[in-house]
Amino acid sequence: MPATYAVPVEQSRGRRYPEPAHPYRNDFQRDRDRIIHARAFRRLENKTQVFTKRLSDHFRTRLTHTIEVAQISRTIAAALDLNVDLVEALALVHDIGHPPFGHAGEKALDACMREHGSVFDHNLHALRIVEHFEQRYADFPGLNLTFEVREGIIKHSRDYGAAEHPELAEYLLDQRPPIEAQLIDLTDEIGYNTADLDDGYEAKLLKLPKMREQVRIFERFYRDADAQHPQASEKLKFNEALKRMLDLMVTDLIESTRVNVERAFANTLDDVRTFPSRLAAFSPEVEDMRREAKQFLYDNLYYSSPLRPEKLDADRVITGLFQFWMKNPDTLPPSYQEQANLEPLHRVICDYIAGMTDNYVLEQYKRLLKK
């Protein structure tokens, strides 16, 4: 039985372009399927999460990270009696707006846009993708997703102000998103905090002694694994510790969110929307451990010297192409040249680059700037 504060699909605010009901899939299931079949979703396979393929083909990409977040999200949603279909759709679409080269690429693209008085925001770009760029249907532009999925794309990780973003006014900016959407940023954190420790260790960039010393949540479970499996290899003990770390964070998010809902007397979806703060959250203890693990990753992996070449490459390639097309717009594909008659050129170039995979953006750089 769904929780009374969950989003009932029967009460969805619907699609921008009305469609007849499907005989055996509800609207959120259809949204999930449209996302999976989108070109932008497939491109996540060749977009960097943390490591480019220079180091290994075994590490997470944006796509495999997204699949892991979807699995975690479904588990938590089911435990909280939320709308699992909506949560899955939101988890699958949450990273669809990211550009090539991971956060380094996002930073470079944002710097280019700021020179023209604008910004790059991957949530806003994701909305543009599902509203305009995906052209699969004869009856309407974009994917024609339900209001709840489009709202979740925008609001899952932050709140936008109506004064700053009047174009988003339809998305109830003065209200909190449903818990289904609130969960996604937190399950994203669970996913990449544990996965990046795993990939960093596999890449031999993160050392076990330092991890045990600086990440308390990991050390607690590594000691347990060592005590229970003294003859196991270091790698298997590491795997056990990471598995238990993930389980603790998932369990804590379920229990803490449930407590927050009860304390807020949030019996309906309107109660969730009008509550002064978000109700999905870790407990203070686990939140502190999460921050500690995240800071460890920033200090020892994301900004480590072995990964610096990738960051420099991302900046050089994206900035170089952006500046080239600003000076030579006639070399853009015809569809983007046409779009530049309707929108500022820098926005059109940003959209073009953001949609590229790592491989394709490198091909374009080599073709245009390394002749």
Q: How far apart are CA 365 and CA 218, in angstroms?
A: 41
Residue 221 resides in a domain: yes
* String of DSSP letters for 19-52: -PPPSS--HHHHHHHHHHTSHHHHHGGGSBSS--
323 within domain boundaries: no
Name residues of the chain where pLDDT drops below 50. Answer: none
Written as one letter, the residue type at 277 is S
For position 121, what pLDDT does the model report? 95
| Tokens coding 169 | 């006014």
Helix axes 102-114, 308-327, angle to 10 degrees: 40
Q: Is residue 355 part of a domain?
A: no
d(CA 244, CA 290): 14
Nearest to 368 by CA among 329, 338, 341: 329
In a domain, 331, yes or no: no
Domain annotation covers residue 248:
yes
Residue 154 has a pLDDT of 96
Count of structural domains, the chain: 1
The tally of CA atoms less than 13 A away on the side-chain side of residue 159 is 14
Q: Which residues contact 246 (CB under 8 A, 6 or more apart)?
A: 72, 190, 194
- Residue 1: the pLDDT is 81
pLDDT for position 216:
94
Identify whether 329 is part of a domain: no
Q: Does residue 163 lie in a domain region?
A: yes
CATH number at residue 191: 1.10.3210.10
pLDDT at 58: 75
Nearest to 69 by CA among 212, 160, 162, 196: 196
pLDDT per residue as tens digits for the range 14-69: 999 999 999 999 999 999 999 999 999 999 999 888 776 656 667 889 999 999 99
Measure the CA–CA gap between 15 and 143, rounded to whole angstroms.
10
pLDDT at 56: 60
Give the predicted TM-score (pTM) of the model: 0.95
Give the pair of three-digit tokens for residue 44.
Answer: 């996540």
Maximum Cα interatomic distance, the chain, rounded to a whole number of Å: 67
104, 302 contact by CB (below 8 A):
no
Show the tokens assigned to 167.
Answer: 């174009």
Residue 291 lies in a domain: yes
Q: Judge contact between 103 and 188, C-beta under 8 A.
A: no
Pair of tokens at residue 3: 């929780």
**Which residue from 110, 252, 86, 246 is spatially nearest to 182, judged by alpha carbons?**
86
Q: What is the pLDDT of residues 62-115, one digit of tens each?
A: 999 999 999 999 999 999 999 999 999 999 999 999 999 988 999 999 999 999
User: Whole domain around residue 24: which residue ranges?
Assistant: 9-308
Give the closest residue to 278 by CA, choosing from 5, 93, 12.
5
Can you spell out the DSSP letters for 217-236? HHHHHHHHHHHH-TTS-HHH
C-alpha separations of 5 from 29, 179, 262, 354, 367 in Å:
19, 8, 11, 36, 53
Residue with tokens 């502190």: 288
Token pair, residue 222, equals 């590594």
